[in-house]
Amino acid sequence: MVYLLASIFFSATIGLLFKYSETNNLNRFTITFTNYFVAASICFITVLRSDLSLLNLINSDIGFFWEELLIVIRNKDMHFSDQNSLLFCILLGGCTGWLYFSAFIYYQISVAKNGINLSAMFSRLGILIPMLIAIFFWQEIPTKIQFVGILMSLSSIVITNLNFGNQVQIHKKSLLSLFFFAGLGVFCNKIFQKYALIEHTQLFLFCIFGSALLVSIKPLLINLKQIVVKDISIGILIGISNLLTTLFLISALNHVAAAVVFPLFSAGAIVLVMLGGKFIFRESMTRKNLIAILMTIIALVIINLKI
């Protein structure tokens, strides 16, 4: 549970840093690029200092990889062999980085068309994808009391972000795309934890942030403005927090069922962002915010009773 709490903390840190950048009208494209550059660079250094035999990939048998992939999926609890795990990390990490960046782009589109509340809710509710797959495909079924905590966590996400008093013109395509990409991006972390070797985590993280870095170059060049030190500084902080969020989330999945991790991860991050908004940015706290915070705390206590 310590890993889960750490991932929640750093996820909320990312949200608060982005909030600071938007409040101060910083260049989000410079920040995004710097974020991925820093995370990828740290992972690259750790990979170089590790004992991974990446040269073995040159002589890898692609046919054997696909054969083992089918075997691993059918067995559900089986991991790849060392060489195929390396190849799996590269392929999965590249896809995950693209999903991360796509979710970020659709989040911006959705905020412009649907507002921040509805966009934040659909982004967080994307965790339903990995949660349901973990329950039905991998049989990671929570206890009855944990189900209560999970439902409370999901309810707190809806209560926090949905403005029931306003009728808005919903742009369904951007919301569904955001839900899909955000959910699949998080789900890839679970796939790695389930099938790859844990000692290949740094390689997986490097492929995530490295591929996201490559995808972010074009938007940066299109929207290139004067480079400001503050943009770089915030990008560095977000990059470190982004890396630690993913690292601790994967570690949490090694100890706690995905159906428990994902809703608490999303709801907990929202609660910390709200508290940060209150005490750092001096924002007012509404009644529904207080209800959501209370529900999340109760959910955390309930789930820990059985873990």
Tens digit of each residue's pLDDT (9 = 90 or more) over 50-83: 777 666 666 666 778 888 888 888 887 788 888 8
What's the CA gap between 269 and 256, in Å, rounded? 17
Domain that holds residue 175: 2-304
What's the CA gap between 30 and 186, in Å, rounded? 24
Residue with the larger pLDDT of the pair 286 and 238: 238
pLDDT above 70 for 305: no
User: End-to-end CA distance of the chain, in Å?
Assistant: 8
Secondary structure letter of residue 255 according to DSSP: T
pLDDT above 60 for 290: yes
From the list 77, 132, 145, the residue with the least C-alpha distance to 263 is 132
- Averaged pLDDT score across all residues of the chain: 84
| Average pLDDT rounded to a whole number, residues 272-289 | 81
Decide if 7 contacts 264 (C-beta within 8 A): no
| Average pLDDT rounded to a whole number, residues 145-152 | 85
Decide if 6 contacts 244 (C-beta within 8 A): yes
Secondary structure letter of residue 142 according to DSSP: P
Beta strand ranges found along the chain (DSSP E): none
What's the CA gap between 84 and 73, in Å, rounded? 14
The predicted pLDDT at position 168 comes to: 53
The predicted pLDDT at position 115 comes to: 66
| Tally of domains within the chain | 1
pLDDT above 90 for 228: no
Decide if 129 contacts 187 (C-beta within 8 A): yes
The predicted pLDDT at position 95 comes to: 95
What residues have CB less than 8 Å from 297, skipping those under 6 apart?
271
Q: Which two tokens stand for residue 234?
A: 């915030």
| Average pLDDT rounded to a whole number, residues 275-280 | 85
What residues have CB less than 8 Å from 281, skipping those under 6 apart?
19, 20, 23
Decide if 189 contacts 74 (C-beta within 8 A): no
Q: Which two tokens stand for residue 253?
A: 């999945």
Q: At what angle do helices 82-114 and 201-222 cross, to 10 degrees?
A: 40
pTM given for the model: 0.85
Decide if 206 contacts 212 (C-beta within 8 A): no
